[in-house]
């Protein structure tokens, strides 16, 4: 159990972001997170939206805009004391590259087989300069 009482509300706020259904309510909760935990960044919010399965581009952008605006206004200017930072210690892996296109299995579009979703590919790492690309 933590002696840092300022952390008591972080889990309920994160749970709200994951459970809320409508974009305006999620925006409000993200605003509360940014206000109460100014070390949270858009990448953290984007990871939460990924966890909840929110792939609707318009809704994502509206929610991430709240985080961006608050980061730039109050959050960017205020950095929490190191002993009150929570999100700055949480690394977020680089997101995969996603396409909003239907995948095809042979001649049958995958979107007819399963619920349409984003086609995500891992990001390619640049080749090491010491290793030349293999030739066929």
Query: If you average pLDDT over residues 76-81, what whole number do you get?
Result: 55
Q: Under DSSP, is residue 104 helix (H, G, I), strand (E, B) or coil?
A: strand
- Is 22 within 8 Å of 63 (Cβ atoms)? no
In tens, the pLDDT along 20-70 reads 999 999 999 999 998 888 888 899 999 999 888 888 889 999 999 998 887
- Is 120 within 8 Å of 96 (Cβ atoms)? yes
For residue 62, give the H/E element and its range.
helix 57-70
Determine phi and psi for 62, rounding to 5 degrees.
-65, -45
User: 64 versus 1: which is more confidently predicted?
Assistant: 64
């Amino acid at each position: 159990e933590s002696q840092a009482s300022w952390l008591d509300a972080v889990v309920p706020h994160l749970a709200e972001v994951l459970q809320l259904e409508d974009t305006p309510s999620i925006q409000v909760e993200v605003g509360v997170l940014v206000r109460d935990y100014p070390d949270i960044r858009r990448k953290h919010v984007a990871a939460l939206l990924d966890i909840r399965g929110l792939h609707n581009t318009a809704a994502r952008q509206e929610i991430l805009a709240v985080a961006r605006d608050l980061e730039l206004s109050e959050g960017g200017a205020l950095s929490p004391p190191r002993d009150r930072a929570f999100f700055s210690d949480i690394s977020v892996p680089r997101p995969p590259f996603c396409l909003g296109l239907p995948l095809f299995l042979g001649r049958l579009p995958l979107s007819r087989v399963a619920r349409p979703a984003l086609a995500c590919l891992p990001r390619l790492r640049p080749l090491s300069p010491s290793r030349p690309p293999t030739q066929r």
